[in-house]
Structure 1
Amino acid sequence: MAEPAGRILVVDDEADIRDALEMVLRYEKHEVATAPDGDRALAAIEKDPPDVVLLDVKMPGRDGIEVLEEIRRRRPGLPVVMISGHADRSTGWEAARRGAFDFLDKPLDEGQVLVTVRNALAMRRAESEVAALRGKVAERWRILGTTSAIRDVLATVEKVAPTQARVLLTGGNGTGKELVARNVHERSHRWRGPFVEVNCAAIPRELVESELFGHEKGSFTGAVASRPGKFEQADGGTLFLDEIGDMDLSAQAKVLRALEEGTIERVGGRGPVPVDVRVVAATNKDLLEEVAGGRFREDLYYRLAVVPIHLPPLSARREDVPLLARHFLEEACKRNDLEPRRRLSEEALALLSRQEWPGNVRQLRNLVERVAILCPGPEVGSADLEPYLAPRPQRPGDPFTGCATFEEFKEQAERMFLLQRLEENGWNVKHTAEVLAMQRSNLYKKIEKYGLR
């Protein structure tokens, strides 16, 4: 199958060289433009960007190295092949240092020119495909929101993703912990590697070691073949340990050793296997409370929580509800081929914003998809939503009836307690912390966590 042709810009002050290269390249079905100097080359690149530039080093006015530098500044992904009749090692090194794709000597060899152009086009197309793929991935895992709480999450992800630091994600069910884990992976240098997810709460206790570290054939009843575990599967990428707070203590000890030593050992294995894995963990539990209760290893906690990120409940970022609801509605219509496309009325958006959302973003997403499918008309109004909201009956003066889990109950109780004490002390954080025998920094974190303002 023939290679697809490209747009090539030839820049040389010698008309014979330009004409010869143009003829050779056109014969190979490439589209060719020429320029006799650096200024006209830069103008041509701006007007109709080529796929590859063949650039002479020695030209009147701006020389090729200077033009190369300007091209790299304006269009860093554009491959530039330097050509020269005055070639020496220092010129080639300088061109490579400034970002040239390759360097060809005059007199030019026709076959070498074509091979070099073909390689440059292949690299250009590969980079374009990767950029397009990353764009699709970024869109799929995009974190939506404009509130300060979600902006803080995004800012932390931007800072930590390019590093090797482990990340601990905390927050209620449905707040988007997997979404944030995906973003940490996709924005890291490991994005080409695998993203392997493990739900620690879903693995039976007797299979945890085999699931995480793999096993050899015959190591236990039913082990009919050797199998790599999740750590090995994530080698070179990211391992997402979801619901890490539900892992039993014996498995925690083995995970700790894997993190400390960078090796694992399969069940029935004969020695350590090196693994290069970045771990992102998530939990809806208060791990420090689990540590205090002897249910979670303190040393593992500090290994995991190098950079902690707390995901706020949807009730603490109500301003984001309309944005999220519109996005989920558009997504649901595309996924289910719904025509005409649905839209949410302003009254419907206001009604959604007033809800408590104990299931957080996941609950909102599911509700919007349900309504998109069942709504009889193109506009979703508040009357269309009300049958599916089904608020829990709440006794007057009882703030805990809406809590779906014990964790939510504890968070609500802590929030009310802190709010009461802050109001009693005129919102003097320093004095309130002293009264509560709490570090001021910890109180600030609680204020941020519960959106107390």
Structure 2
Amino acid sequence: MNGLLIVDDEIQVQTFFSYLLRKKDIALSFAGNAAEVSTALEKNIYQAALVDLKLPDSNGLDILKTIKKRMPACRVIIMTGYSTVKSALEAIRLGAEDYIEKPFDDINELETLIDSLFTTPATQRQTDLMQLAEQTGFIVGTNPDMYNLLSLAYKIARKNITVLIEGETGCGKEVLARFLHEAGMRNSQPFVGVNCGAFTETLLESELFGHEKGAFTGALHSRKGLFEAASKGTLFFDEIADASPAIQVKLLRVLETREFMRIGSEQIRHTDARIIAASHANLEQEVEYGRFREDLLYRLNVVKLVVPPLRNRKEDIPYLVRHLIRRHHMDENAFAPETLSVMQEYDWPGNIRELANVVTRALALSEGEPGPITPDYLPAAIVKQQMISFSPSIEKPEQKSPLSKPSLEEYVEEWKRELLTQWKNSSSTDLPAVMDRIKELEKTIGAAFVGRALKESWGNQQKASRLLNISVRKLRYLLHEKGK
């Protein structure tokens, strides 16, 4: 029989669970304080526990740690009031399976949750999480911080709470927002996104709240706003820090009352949209600078998720590259191992957005070329190739070299004088020597032009080949010849 420990000091709560679970094959135990929890853990083995966050002599976080230390496999659910949701989220970070809010409004949902503790293996939940992440494009490789972030997001996705996502530009904030939507109870309803920095204040207000016909010049028809379009679904505010002070005031009003009016209307409308906001700027700092309202931040920051930059999860780059390649319906092993190694040395200031652009560019440039994609197809900023030397003389600037422009001119002039001398000498001509000098001229001029193109492209062979109007293969051949 499955063992379930209920940790709550209220007799009414203990009675409620006794009645709710009376017909189930569950061995119930109760504890009202830390001492009783210790006693219960000594007497029995529990597969699951429901722990109240507030106890008379302890708190749920300490009880959670005790249970996890004594019985690591025990799946713990935290019971909390809305005002202590942040503490419940900390419990999830410490290993809690989930949390539920008191009072229990949806008894069926509570019963389903308890049943899942005994019927759904933890490994199945992990599999479901990773499959959904793959489907939504939120790729997690081996970085533990990313897995912990995704796990937390998965656990709060079904909660009707506002989420704030922070992270650098291009790191995948909107992708995480879509994951939250798809993992939540509203996944059959619309996901609607708006970039607060992409509109003027007037246009953004119209986008959000809608307008009535004739409300302003050009308003030829009544139009729903995003709060209406996303009602019952998810409304995603990207770059919320760019919203003007006037828009911030109106957003705060909607978040507090769930009421709004269209522009040009006096009719109060209601919205049930779940709000997810994202910002590349630290909103707490924006509040300090006076650019963001503190009361709005309080409303948005019920749960904050921070997406790490790509430079802090470079071990995930091969997984991300393979995912991006699959989106182009190409062989996921198209990139050579040395190319991935070069990419992992780069800091990616543009994060995953920059990575996606680089992958797309490399696939386009290499189309039709045999073999895997080499580092030559990467931008010079990533490859960081040193200037390629074709002769020892280039490494010594004080020496004359045919690869610098003045030296090339001198070389050509000297070559021209020697050829004309042979031509004017009518008595005898060493034709084999002349032909050798012509081959030498071809080789030297080729080296000069290749060297100049590589300098102009900062060592990027793909770009250099375009400057020379030759193929990359021909360029590599010339580089090989110059190396002999």
- Relative to the length of structure 1, the TM-score reads 0.54
**Residue 314 (structure 1) shift:** 0.3
Asked if 1:384 corresponds to 2:377, the answer is yes
**Residue 206 (structure 1) shift:** 2.1
Are 2:132 and 2:183, in contact at CA under 8 Å, matched by a contact in 1?
A: no
- Give the alignment's Cα RMSD to 1 decimal: 2.8
Asked if 1:141 corresponds to 2:134, the answer is no
Aligned partner letter, 1:182: R
**Residue 146 (structure 1) shift:** 2.1
Give the match for residue 285 of structure 1.
281
Asked if 1:329 corresponds to 2:322, the answer is no
Indicate the SS of the match to 1:145. Answer: coil
Structure 2: state its 5+ residue gaps. 1-110, 113-130, 387-484
Q: Deviation string for 1:240-299 (max 9, x for gaps)?
A: 000000000110010111011111110111221011110000000011111111110001
Q: 2:221 aligns with which of 221, 225, 233?
A: 225
Asked if 1:373 corresponds to 2:355, the answer is no
Q: 2:179 aligns with which of 166, 178, 183?
A: 183
Aligned partner letter, 2:355: L
Aligned partner letter, 1:250: A
Indicate the SS of the match to 1:344. Answer: coil
CA distance in 2, matches of 1:169, 1:145: 20
Asked if 1:343 corresponds to 2:341, the answer is no
Give the match for residue 355 of structure 1.
346
Q: Which has the larger radius of gyration?
A: 2
**Residue 388 (structure 1) shift:** 6.6
CA distance in 1, matches of 2:177, 2:136: 13
Give the match for residue 203 of structure 1.
199
Higher mean C-alpha deviation, range 380-389 or range 262-271: 380-389
CA distance in 2, matches of 1:178, 1:381: 31
Aligned CA distance change for structure 1 residues 341 and 294 (closer, same or farther; 3 Å): closer
TM superposition outliers: structure 1 runs of 4+ over 4 Å: 135-138, 390-393
Give the match for residue 159 of structure 1.
155
Aligned CA distance change for structure 1 residues 279 and 391 (closer, same or farther; 3 Å): farther
CA distance in 1, matches of 2:385, 2:232: 47
Q: 2:296 aligns with which of 300, 304, 328?
A: 300
CA distance in 2, matches of 1:206, 1:248: 10
Indicate the SS of the match to 1:201. Answer: coil
Asked if 1:251 corresponds to 2:260, the answer is no
CA distance in 1, matches of 2:372, 2:283: 44
Report % sequence identity: 41
- Relative to the length of structure 2, the TM-score reads 0.51
CA distance in 1, matches of 2:145, 2:257: 36
CA distance in 1, matches of 2:177, 2:204: 22
Are 2:170 and 2:353, in contact at CA under 8 Å, matched by a contact in 1?
A: yes
Aligned pair count?
260
Indicate the SS of the match to 1:348. Answer: helix
Indicate the SS of the match to 1:178. Answer: helix
Aligned partner letter, 1:389: I
CA distance in 2, matches of 1:313, 1:341: 23
**Residue 321 (structure 1) shift:** 0.8
Structure 1: state its 5+ residue gaps. 1-97, 100-134, 394-453
Aligned CA distance change for structure 1 residues 136 and 171 (closer, same or farther; 3 Å): closer
Aligned CA distance change for structure 1 residues 214 and 238 (closer, same or farther; 3 Å): same
